[in-house]
Amino acid sequence: MSDAPTMPKRSRTSEVPPARRRSRDASSIGLNLTSMIDVVFLLLVYFMVATDFKKAEEVYILDLPDRVEGMSADPFELDEEPLRIMVRSAGVDGTSFRLAVDGPWDPVRDFDGLYDFLLARQVDGMGGGLFAVDHPIVIVPEASLHWEFAIDAFNAAVRAGYRNVTLQEISS
């Protein structure tokens, strides 16, 4: 037995340098998600740009009674004479319009004027009017009239508070 001092035994772990030991502990199977995230974000941006964000759409309610099949109507009920508003096409390529209200009324120039006319002729209006809010109003567009002008006339009547507004069909 020698009295030479023995070196302390180093464990196997302590033989590895600290940096290599850390990398061995962290080694695990994993996916490289970077490229997938790139592709996914590209797809997302593509669909967001390609999507057409439209303005909200609104509707006017139009109920068309079936006059042919409507045999259940009261035969003794007197039909109110509807107020007929003629909208004719004017200008080059129908880019303008002309309004006429059937009856002994002053002519109206535009749709704001039509709105004022209809509002003033209402029973509850301030013009001493005759028409109730459910008085039938028939918009009579000309065949060559642009659809937007027919809608403008319809809008003027609905905006004035009338609830029984219809469009006259062109007789075939």
Q: Least separation, in Å, of the C-beta of 74 and other proteins?
A: 13
The verdict on 16 binding other proteins (CB under 8 A) reads no
Binding track, positions 95-124, relative to other proteins; x by CB under 8 A: ----------------xx--x---------
As a whole number of angstroms, the distance between CA 169 and CA 143 comes to 9
Sheet holding 137-141, edge to edge: 96-101, 83-90, 137-141, 165-167
- The count of other CB atoms within 10 Å of the CB of residue 132 is 13
What three-state secondary structure class fits 114? helix
One of 84, 100, 138, 142 touching other proteins (CB under 8 A)? 142
One of 35, 72, 76, 77 touching other proteins (CB under 8 A)? 72
Q: Least separation, in Å, of the C-beta of 28 and other proteins?
A: 13
